[in-house]
Structures are given as structure tokens and as C-alpha cells.
Amino acid sequence: MGAWALVVVVLWFLPSRVLTDYQLYTFNLALVNILLAIGLNLVIGVARQFALFSGALFGIGAYVAGICQVRYGMSFLAALPLAIVAAMLVSAATSLIAWRAGDLYLAMITFGFGEIFQFFLVHADGLTNGPDGLAVPRPNIAGVSFAAPGELHLLFLPLTVLAIAIYRLIETGKLGRLLTALGDSEPALASTGYDHRVVKTIAFAIQGAYAGLAGAFFAAAVGFIDPYSFGLSVTLQQLTAIAIGGLGSLAGALVGSITLTLIDRVLIDFPGVRELAYGVCLLIVFLAVPRGLAGILSRQKSLP
């Protein structure tokens, strides 16, 4: 516990002193991707509900945070909970589909939802400013501006750590047990008296909360949002991240999303090559370590 606290403190204060702005910007994006990946991991990796609309939930978080600040003059800290709640509600509502449809059907329907959402962002000009996008102000808390990547990092890191800690509590508690049980056998879960539909909705709601938080961070980190940042590619990137890291594992989601963020940054100037790199990574991981990068750690631990 103490060692972890030390790591967090070091990660909080050290990077803004030693890293360049670009590196800090990448660091912040990694935090955003971590939040997205752990939310998706809970739904797909743990509860095994193939919902493919992370990108849309991420967009809801970003746009609600952005619109609240730009159109209604709210502060970042006031807009943040609204972004979380909005994505959470939309995700929970979408879970009603998962009450009946499973697997491929759920994947198709949620994918469709993501496409419609993007269409909405493009065409609801009055609210979203359409394809031109929205410039989002930098957070300002009690007169202190968080504009530079190093300043934003000071704000994002503790909140991300808190979100990871909450995830860990969920994962290791009664709820986590239920979510795993849901993923393993719906009939068996029902036979213990739990309504699998309620458990699904809870899983979706949690994913929504994480994606909403990630969206609000993203809007603040980049300072500009447009509809094209929240499509299927985001979902696929996160799916790749948790697959590379090891489906269902928190450590896997962390390792995977950091890895992909770095690949993403390195290859940003080579469109197409990036997706190819994701594919190569998936192939290498599946062939070499089928349980994902996080599996390497646990495998070494279990050796006599």
C-alpha cells in the first residue's frame, strides 16, 4: 500500500518537472485511454457483454462537458459530474437492449447506436457546432488555471488514480463477483436469485461513468472536440488495448492502454500504419502470451 502511494506521489509531481509538454500531453492522453479501457474492460472483459459503443459514451462525456462550459458558462468542476452522469444514464438506458439481445446482436445494435450518435453530433449544429467542432476552455479552478499539459496532469492524475482505486474496490467486492458470474453463466446467476438484467445495467452504468470522465478529460486536454474523435475507431482501439493487456484484468487494461497510447503517438503521422500496428500487436500477443501482457506478470508469480 505504502509503495503504491509513493508511486502515485512520484507520478503526480515528477513528470511535470522532467517531461516536455508534448510528453506530458501524451501522458494525459494515456490517462484518458486508461479510463476508457477499464470501463470497457468491466463490460466486455469481466461481464462479457459485447457492447461496442465506448466511442459514443466517450463523446457524450466530452460534449456534455464542453457544451456546459461553452454554452452555459459552467466551470470545469461543475461540468465534470454532469458529463459523468450523462454518459452513465445513456449507457444504463442502452443496457435495456442487452436485457434481451446478446453477443453479436448486442454488438451490432450498440455499434449502430455509436454511428447514430456521431450522425447526431454532425447535424445538431446549434448544440454541437457540427463538423466544425467545439473549442473547449481550459479548466480554471478557484482562479488557478490548468492550461499547460503539466498543469492538467496535476489535476488529472489524482482523479484517475481515484477512479482506478474505485474500480479495484468494485472488482474485488461483491459487485465484481456478480459481474464475473454474469459473464460466466446467466442461468446460474438467475438460479442464485440475482436478476441478470439489473446486473447488466449496473455494468453498463459503470462503464458510462468511466467513459464520461474520460470524455471530460479529453475535451480539457485537447481543448477542441469534433464528431470524428468519437467513432468506432475509439472503441476498437480500446478493445485492442484490453485484448493486448489481457481481457478482464485491471493490470491488463492499464498496460494495454498505455502501450496503445504510445503506439498511437509514435505513428500519428502515418495514418493506416497505426491500425496495422494494432493488428500486429494483437497477433504477437495472442501467439506469444495468450492471456495478454498482464498474463506475463501473473505467470511468473505462479512459478515455483
Contacts to another protein by CB under 8 A: 174, 177-178, 180-181, 183-185, 187-196, 248
Count of CA atoms in the C-beta half-sphere (13 A) of 300: 4
Least Cα distance to 227 among 125, 137, 83 occurs for: 125
- Judged by beta carbon, residue 17 or residue 174, the one nearer another protein is 174
**CB-wise, 20 or 185, nearer to another protein?**
185
Among residues 200 and 274, whose Cβ is nearest to another protein? 200
| Minimum CB distance to another protein smaller for 57 or for 181 | 181
Cell of 30: 494515456
Query: What's the min distance (Å) between Cβ of 167 and another protein?
Result: 17
The count of other CB atoms within 10 Å of the CB of residue 290 is 9
- Residues contacting 8, CB < 8 A, separation 6+: 157, 158, 161
Please check whether residue 177 is in contact with residue 259, taking contact to mean a CB–CB distance below 8 angstroms. Answer: no
CB-based contact 227:59 (threshold 8 Å):
yes
- Cβ 190 to another protein, closest distance in Å? 4
Structure-block grid coordinates of residue 266:
509514435
Partners of 173 in the β-ladder: none
Minimal CA–CA distance to 178: which of 165, 167, 163, 188? 188
Q: Give the integer Cα–Cα distance in Å for 48 and 51.
A: 9
Task: Quickly tell me which residue has 498505455 as its cell.
Answer: 258
Q: Closest separation between CB of residue 194 and another protein, Å?
A: 6
What is the dihedral angle through the alpha carbons of 152, 85, 261, 40, rounded to the nearest 10 degrees? 160
State the nearest-atom distance from the C-beta of 95 to another protein, in Å: 16
Q: How far is the CB of 25 from another protein (least distance, A)?
A: 37
> Minimum distance from CB of 200 to another protein (Å)?
12
CB closer to another protein, 212 vs 252:
252
Cβ neighbour number for residue 181 with a 10 Å cutoff? 18
Nearer to another protein, 124 or 198 (CB): 198
| 2 versus 187: smaller Cβ distance to another protein | 187
DSSP codes, 89-119: HHHHHHHHHHHH--HHHHHHHHHHHHHHHHH
Cα end-to-end distance, the chain, whole Å: 25
- Closest distance between another protein and the C-beta of residue 252, in Å? 14
Shortest separation between residue 180's beta carbon and another protein, angstroms: 5
Q: Which residues contact 224 (CB under 8 A, 6 or more apart)?
A: 133, 134, 135, 136
Q: Which is nearer to another protein, 114 or 248 (CB)?
A: 248
